[in-house]
Structure 1
């Protein structure tokens, strides 16, 4: 049985949900970003217990198809930007292939529900990843630009400044590192 969960954005989220299910003695097949598959469906009282546990951890069980689709889109984008190293990809093709739907359909749903386009969401996620990589101070801008699929450092810098109001160099010099949690981006 498959369940969809809102606000799962990192591997700690996956572990937190897996632990919750383990404590409920549920037979877990797998837990991924935004998705849980159990060997057997939860009974009605177990679903309520699961919802309560999820809510206390900052998650939410999704009941509607539109919400599930949005969370899948977000999970795919977050996974590709934050966890897949050195991959170049076209998000419209990736989303269409992984969700077996036309990109225009997914884009319309996302924009109507979230109030921003998929492209804007991708940019926001990339900028948060750039902030993270700048804070770690292990890569230069050229390496970060390449890693995240920017055409040039100038393109990355312009987009970074447009979103944050600072150049990457100014951001790094501040040494404050105003990063946002991925679930609020």
Structure 2
């Protein structure tokens, strides 16, 4: 049985969720971004305690299948952009569709209706946050960052970066207060 959790987008969230499951005595097998595979059935009392404990930490237990699917899309994008070294070499739509085994048009429409933005804009926002992070680390130059994030050119990355942040990547790097967002707020 799988349990789905909204806003679970980082390794720290995974550790927190594991601690909660241990605390309430629900045996689990795997904790992934946004989902936990548990052994057996969770009692009503355990489910309510789980819901309460998660809410205290800004996480949310999900029951609605459409919201679960939207969270899977979000978590797949977060994992794809922030936690893998290489982005897939196929179109984002093909990758998401194949991974979630749903028609992309259905996913895109559902995502837009629920989130008020498109999947592409969500991906761009996360790619820009990743670019900010890589700029701050100062280990890669702009050409390497644009290649790593699969931009067609440095100009394309710079254009999207400026459109999203209001700054050029070079100017952003020079700022003293670099305003990065947490993954939950992208």
Same fold (TM over 0.5): yes
| Residue ranges of structure 1 left out of the alignment (5+ in a row) | none
The 2-side partners of 1:121 and 1:63 are apart by: 23
The 2-side partners of 1:94 and 1:54 are apart by: 30
Q: Say whether the 8 Å CA contact 2:88–2:95 is kept in structure 1.
A: no
Secondary structure of residue in 1 paired with 2:184? helix
Residue 163 of structure 1 is matched in structure 2 by 164
Q: How does 1:142-153 map to 2 (within 5 A)?
A: 142-153=143-154
Residue 42 of structure 2 is matched in structure 1 by 42
Residue 61 of structure 2 is matched in structure 1 by 61
| Residue ranges of structure 2 left out of the alignment (5+ in a row) | none
Q: TM-score, normalised by structure 1?
A: 0.97
| Count of residue correspondences | 185
Q: Say whether the 8 Å CA contact 2:4–2:34 is kept in structure 1.
A: yes
Q: State the 1:171 CA deviation.
A: 0.4
The 2-side partners of 1:162 and 1:102 are apart by: 30
Secondary structure of residue in 1 paired with 2:8? coil
- Write the deviation string for residues 105-133 of structure 1: whole angstroms up to 9, x where unpaired: 00000000000000000000000101111
Q: TM-score, normalised by structure 2?
A: 0.97
Q: Say whether the 8 Å CA contact 1:77–1:91 is kept in structure 2.
A: no
Q: Does 1:141 align with 2:167?
A: no
Q: How does 1:1-185 map to 2 (within 5 A)?
A: 1-89=1-89, 90-185=91-186
Q: Say whether the 8 Å CA contact 2:6–2:59 is kept in structure 1.
A: yes
Q: What is the RMSD of the two structures over their aligned residues, measured on CA atoms? A: 0.9
The 2-side partners of 1:22 and 1:140 are apart by: 43
The 2-side partners of 1:159 and 1:116 are apart by: 16
The 2-side partners of 1:159 and 1:87 are apart by: 18
